Amino acid sequence: MDSQATKDLEHRYHQVCSQIREHAGTRAAPELLVVTKGHGPEPLRALFSWGQTSFGENYAQELIAKSEALSDLPIRWIFIGHLQSNKIRKIVSVASEIQTVGSLKQAEQIARAARDLGKTPYPVWIEVNADQEEGKHGCPLDAVPALAAALAQNPELRLRGLMAIPPSQFQDATTGEVPPLYQSLRQLADQVGEGQLSLGMSGDLGLAIRAGSNLVRIGTAILGPRQV
- Three-class secondary structure of residue 157 per DSSP: strand
Average pLDDT, rounded, for the chain: 93
Q: How far apart are the first and last CA of the chain?
A: 15
pLDDT band at 162 (very low <50, low <70, confident <90, very high): very high
pLDDT band at 130 (very low <50, low <70, confident <90, very high): confident
78-107 pLDDT per residue, tens: 999 999 999 999 999 999 999 999 999 999
The whole-number pLDDT of residue 133 equals: 65
Dihedral (Cα; 134, 189, 25, 205), 10-degree rounding: -10
Which residue(s) pair with 124 in the sheet? 98, 159
Q: Would the pTM count as exceeding 0.85?
A: yes
CA distance 137 to 134: 8
- In angstroms, how far is CA 136 from the centroid of its own chain? 15
pLDDT band at 48 (very low <50, low <70, confident <90, very high): very high
Q: Are 173 and 100 spatial neighbours (Cβ–Cβ below 8 Å)? A: no
Q: Are 50 and 13 spatial neighbours (Cβ–Cβ below 8 Å)? A: yes
167-212 pLDDT per residue, tens: 766 655 556 788 899 999 999 999 999 999 999 998 899 999 999 9
Residue 135 has pLDDT above 70, yes or no: no
The whole-number pLDDT of residue 167 equals: 74
| Domains of the chain, start order | 3-223 (3.20.20.10)
Pick the closest to residue 192 from 203, 180, 200, 184 (CA basis).
184
The whole-number pLDDT of residue 10 equals: 97
